Structure 1
């Protein structure tokens, strides 16, 4: 077991009908961490959560909680609780009744139930709704009731399976902040499953990017975004300008088929590569000239306003397309379709992956 960790998965594998859904997965969560499993549908993140909860059983590997083996232990004997996408609240019970349900099933003394339910409802700011039924609450309030019902049991690990997916964007963003604040106050270990990259990056201490049943990268959100470990991570998290089958010259300069040239801050291996640059890493200036390393003469084709950012689609003289984004508040030059510009970027923003890599 990793020192100081709450939850450890070692070589956990799960297959259905010969299809490997989770493939020898290793993962350790530290006490009080907020970790997200992020990936496309079918990557194995929900199956991983269900195995930790005890709803599915691994074919191989170990799941340990504070060093104790969970594999084979029934779900109701594990010190973990789960919040699902469908809140599964009992419509005939009040908010307080829903939150108290698990404690009553465990035959906790009534006086303790009353105290713990009140404490938990205060935590999620629902104490004034204790006597209401779920149908009388908003979606965000129902989500907080489901959270309170799980937290009142004082689990060592709280598992959250896309619990915000049913909320509209504005409410989802509000609940994200509330959920993170609650977790920070409690210091309960949270494992959060989502396919929403913005949600994972905004809420987590660390993010595990899953693909094909494996973790491709496990890092803090900034490292995931700024330094993706694989081409899959680079393409899945945020937007990229990809340049495929780039030739690597003797001096380490990379050259595309249409003549765009790159120099990266890190050494490059092999003679072919894939290059990626974030749209916000590319700057535009009202200049013209020939292509040099990490610059590209281009023409603006389209301009779009995306809330706080302005997006430009530019085409190089050789026909390649770049997408760039700048904050509107710092956009010193406003370009229009047809304007000739010079696109430029720093060597430290050039990510390079093996040419044959699809992961």
Structure 2
């Protein structure tokens, strides 16, 4: 079964590339979005305008064209009808499939991985973030040395030459790319050592570290700003922020401050090379004492998004860190669907229960409960040895009284 849908407009806006989206259902076990909504948001984040969508179903990818010659002909007609500048596939393409499709369709072809890398390249602000994105992008293009479409040529490149990433991909040969990858890895290794030094300093000072993690556009940055009164960039778009931001958060309930970090958002099929390249940044989450897993409570795909975040956390070695599930965007939920209580626990299987709280970072509802829950983790309840009474060991030796088990363990 196949289907095609068309936009009602022909995307005449100047400066925007018109794109056709393609999604292929490869059966059970494959990632498939029948609406292609998320891919459309990614395309818009990259500066493209979606003019058509094509869906297909196959048992396995066609080795040459991924979708087969018949469906490729259908895509070509759609491209010609709307004057599209390129085609974006929701699944990863091999270099050979990409080249064959470009020859067949007559326009540049991109896949989900390349699209995410392009967005990251445009959004990275810090020196470290730019290095991480460049490393992932160079590793991706090392086997395909192709470029996307024209609007890339108007962007500043990150290789040390003028022009966009598209131009750099054409100009750099594999040997130069290999040298650049080696150089970036060495520089990122220095960054990793610096972060390690900073982390050890925080550990010596007894700083309690909290990291925000979650699916992209779940509202992490808005929540971060609401908790810390910061002014970090926040927008209703995918990957609005990439660079880790850390602020001090004072908790009156605990009588102390904690360190709160906003990290890069996750997404389905996040390129492994990107996770690998962002290891230094993601280490903030892996080294945290507590994770605030922010979930878009209004999303119809919230369960799938939660599972994807858990998968990435496992990949970076952060699966064992205590979590609070923060269901954000309470203001966007219909009144009839609102939870009975803003705070409860969610069972994740095998008797494992995780605390959960519903909040609205936009209106502030539920934030007091969230602060209280963070405080409970930052200052655990005292052990029996802290009840103010002298404890006696079996041999009759008295132990220390109050304060013996103070602090976070």
| TM-score, length basis structure 2 | 0.26
In proportion to residue count, which structure has more strand?
Answer: 1
Which structure has the highest helix share of the two? Answer: 2
TM-score (norm 1): 0.29
- Which has the bigger relative contact order, CA under 8 A and spacing at least 6? 1
